[in-house]
Amino acid sequence: MSAERPDAADEPIEVLAWDSAFFGVRVARLKPGRSTAADLDDARAACAREGVDVVTFLADPGDAESVRRLEDAGFRLVDVRVTLERPLPGAPTPPGREGAPSVRIGRPDDRDALRTIARSAHKDSRFSQDPGFAPHAGRFFETWIERSFEGFADVVLVAEMHGDAALEGPAGYVTCRVDRSGEGWIGLLGVAARKRGRGVGKALVAEAVRWCAEQGAGRALVATQARNVGGLRLYEWAGYRVSDVGLWYHQWRARPA
């Protein structure tokens, strides 16, 4: 007689169907609060039953005991996630200068250019830093910006440069949404490599904050990586302050090269 299969609600892991289909490996996440020694044993058994290749978990850096257990169990730290917030209304004003970027609502004919930017603009992400996901990371962010036009975001804002024919076309993008609690979020921010250092990021963030305020959001939030020092400085300029820090851990059952 075979053992009875646990109810999905009782399982310590959740299999991520979309991620699994996209990356071509079985991806799961350890549920919040499920990092005791017993939970990790249960998770190991659940992964075997479900054929899981990789488990992810966002840990609280203040819970040293849980962090130690994760690392002892073979989880590898791949990212330090920093969440920042700022009150609304109000928005920063980018420095005014000749040829400064302008920002508009994205159009369907922007998609190809934005996918090109997305392919190489997110080298700091946890997917880019994990050898098991890295070969697919560029395509992952291309898909993210594509899906943002299809309802994954509430709006896609696009920056353009002026006064130089060599810099024509979209210079960068930012996606925004307002969640069910009425808080405004930046989802994805990317700037074309050859158009950086020209105020594009500041113009995009300022417009994102303004858009969130116009939607009636009470706060503007964004999550980025601790290794993304340029992004942290940009958000600090825009009035954001750190509100939370999390540690992304990944565990591959068969360790990628």
Domains present along the chain, CATH in parentheses? 8-74 (no CATH), 85-245 (3.40.630.30)
Over 70: is that where the pLDDT of 7 sits? no
Within 10 Å of residue 2's Cβ, how many Cβ atoms?
4
pLDDT on residue 2: 39
State the average pLDDT over residues 1-20: 73
Taking a C-beta distance cutoff of 8 angstroms, is the pair 40, 69 a contact? yes
Could you read off the pLDDT of 32-89 as tens digits, one per residue? 988 889 989 999 999 999 999 999 999 999 999 999 999 999 999 999 999 999 999 8
Taking a C-beta distance cutoff of 8 angstroms, is the pair 15, 50 a contact? yes
Helix-, strand-, coil-residue percentages of the chain, each rounded to 5: 40, 30, 35
pLDDT on residue 3: 45
Residue % of the chain over a pLDDT of 90: 79
156 contacts: CB under 8 Å, gap ≥ 6: 105, 106, 110, 114, 145, 148, 149, 173, 174, 175
> Is 93 or 167 the better-scoring residue by pLDDT?
93
Helix/strand/coil for 36: coil
The alpha carbon torsion through 105, 84, 233, 143 (nearest 10 deg) reads -50
Give the C-alpha separation, 123 to 8, whole Å. 35
> Is 92 or 114 the better-scoring residue by pLDDT?
114
Give the C-alpha separation, 146 to 195, whole Å. 21
